[in-house]
């Protein structure tokens, strides 16, 4: 296990202070389906935002479509995450690194983090950039946001397939 992910997961499962942000639960497909519905809603909102030249919200909606898909995938295997970085680390460990999703899906997550044109190593940075674009004043263009549409749609579709598997 990557040392960074190992450290994040340990802190999420066993925090030194505060509440537990990642815990084992009974797998919950019903709740996973509700997260997938939120992901689908975010995909629809993402397209509306893009079509109306609201590119900062396009990125935000695309990120949340992928994030709710991640939460759904964790619920399928019996994990409940309360914090973005915990959910992302668990997804990387239990799906990407264990070969349950192809590396191309990890690349989609990585691409979601390159909001200013550079690759980052973890989806956590997408969350941070989402905050910057959500509350900042930089004007984005369709070139800044166009890539997320296909990536988010394909990512959500892949997680839907995983949830549907018995």
Domains of the chain: 27-79+99-164 (1.20.120.330)
Q: How many residues does the chain have?
A: 166
Q: What is the pLDDT of residue 129?
A: 61
CA distances from residue 124 to 8, 87, 139, 151 in whole angstroms, order as listed: 11, 9, 22, 17
Q: H or E stretch including 161?
A: helix 142-164
| 125 three-class SS | helix
**DSSP tag of 27:** -
69 token code pair: 């898909």
Q: What is the pLDDT of residue 116?
A: 28
pLDDT digits (tens, 9 = 90+) for 150-159: 888 988 999 9
State if pTM tops 0.85.
no
Under-50 pLDDT residues of the chain:
113, 115-123, 125
Q: What is the pLDDT of residue 76?
A: 96
Q: What is the pLDDT of residue 11?
A: 96
């Amino acid at each position: 296990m990557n040392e960074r992910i190992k450290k994040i997961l340990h802190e999420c499962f066993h925090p030194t202070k505060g509440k537990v942000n990642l815990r084992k639960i009974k797998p919950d497909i019903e709740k996973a389906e509700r997260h997938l519905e939120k992901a689908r809603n975010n995909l629809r909102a993402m397209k509306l935002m893009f079509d109306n030249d609201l590119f900062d919200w396009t990125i935000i909606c695309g990120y949340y479509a992928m994030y709710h898909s991640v939460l759904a995938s964790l619920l399928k295997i019996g994990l409940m995450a309360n914090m973005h970085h915990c959910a992302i680390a668990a997804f990387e460990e239990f799906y990407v690194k264990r070969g349950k999703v192809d590396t191309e899906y990890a690349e989609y997550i990585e691409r979601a983090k390159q909001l200013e044109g550079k690759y980052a190593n973890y989806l956590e940075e997408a969350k941070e950039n989402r905050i910057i674009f959500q509350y900042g004043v930089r004007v984005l263009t369709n070139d800044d946001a166009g890539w997320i549409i296909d990536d988010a749609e394909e990512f959500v579709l892949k997680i839907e397939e995983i949830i549907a598997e018995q």
